[in-house]
C-alpha cells in the first residue's frame, strides 16, 4: 500500500507566471509554484536499513499550456478559470519532479484574488497523481494558496572581462 504524502508540509513560497508556447495559434502561459524544501520518510526504502535515506521535496510544481486571456495580472485579478483533466482538450500540462520522475498533476481550477503591491493572490486546486510513476505515495487532492508574480525576463548577453 502506498504511503500518504504529507500534504500539510507543502509550504508554497510564491508562483511565477511567464509566457508559454503557442498552441493552436494562441499564446499560452506557463507557471512554476515554488515550495519550501522539506524531508519526508521514503516509502520505497526500509527505515531500519543502515543505508536508508529520507526523501527531500524541493521541486517546483510546473504548469504548462495554461489557457489564460492574458499575462497581465490586472486582467487576471478577480477571475476564476476551470480546466479539464489530462488528456481532455484544454488541460494544463502539470507535473512535479519527485522520486526521480515527473509525477503528473491535474490542476482543474485557478482562482485569482485582488492584486496588491506584493503580487496577485492565487489558489490552485487539483490532484497530484503520485501513483502514476510509482513514487510510493498515494494520489492526493490539494489546494495551494500563494502569491503570483510575473517572471522577470532575463536579458542574456555575453560579457567578457578582458
Asked, for residue 162, whether it belongs to a domain, the answer is no
The residue behind cell 484574488 is 113
The domain total for the chain is 1
pLDDT in the model for residue 24: 80
* 3-state SS record for 52-91: CCCEEECCCEEEEEECCCCCCHHHHCCCEEECCCCCCCCC
Asked, for residue 156, whether it belongs to a domain, the answer is no
What are 91-124's pLDDT values in tens digits?
999 999 998 899 999 999 999 999 999 999 999 9
**pLDDT-flagged residues of the chain (< 50):** 156-162
pTM of the model: 0.89
Q: Which domain holds residue 133?
A: 7-150
β-partners of residue 12 are 35
Q: Give Cα separations from 153 to 49, 94, 118 (angstroms).
A: 47, 22, 18
pLDDT in the model for residue 42: 87
56 near 39, Cβ under 8 Å?
A: yes
Asked, for residue 11, whether it belongs to a domain, the answer is yes
pLDDT in the model for residue 159: 46
pLDDT in the model for residue 154: 55
pLDDT in the model for residue 59: 95
Asked, for residue 45, whether it belongs to a domain, the answer is yes
Amino acid at each position: 500500500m502506498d504511503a500518504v504524502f504529507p500534504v500539510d508540509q507543502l509550504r508554497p513560497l510564491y508562483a511565477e507566471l511567464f509566457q508559454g508556447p503557442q498552441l493552436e495559434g494562441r499564446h499560452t502561459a506557463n507557471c512554476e509554484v515554488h515550495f519550501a524544501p522539506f524531508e519526508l520518510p521514503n516509502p520505497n526504502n526500509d527505515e531500519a536499513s543502515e543505508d536508508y535515506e529520507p526523501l527531500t521535496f524541493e521541486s517546483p510544481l510546473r504548469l504548462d499550456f495554461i489557457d489564460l486571456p492574458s499575462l497581465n495580472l490586472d486582467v487576471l485579478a478577480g477571475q476564476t478559470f476551470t480546466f479539464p483533466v489530462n488528456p481532455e482538450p484544454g488541460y494544463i500540462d502539470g507535473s512535479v519532479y519527485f522520486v526521480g520522475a515527473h509525477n503528473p498533476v491535474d490542476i482543474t481550477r485557478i482562482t485569482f484574488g485582488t492584486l496588491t503591491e506584493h503580487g496577485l493572490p492565487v489558489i490552485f486546486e487539483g490532484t497530484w497523481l503520485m501513483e502514476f510513476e510509482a513514487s510510493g505515495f498515494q494520489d492526493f487532492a490539494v489546494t495551494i494558496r500563494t502569491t503570483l508574480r510575473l517572471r522577470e525576463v532575463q536579458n542574456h548577453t555575453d560579457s567578457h572581462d578582458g
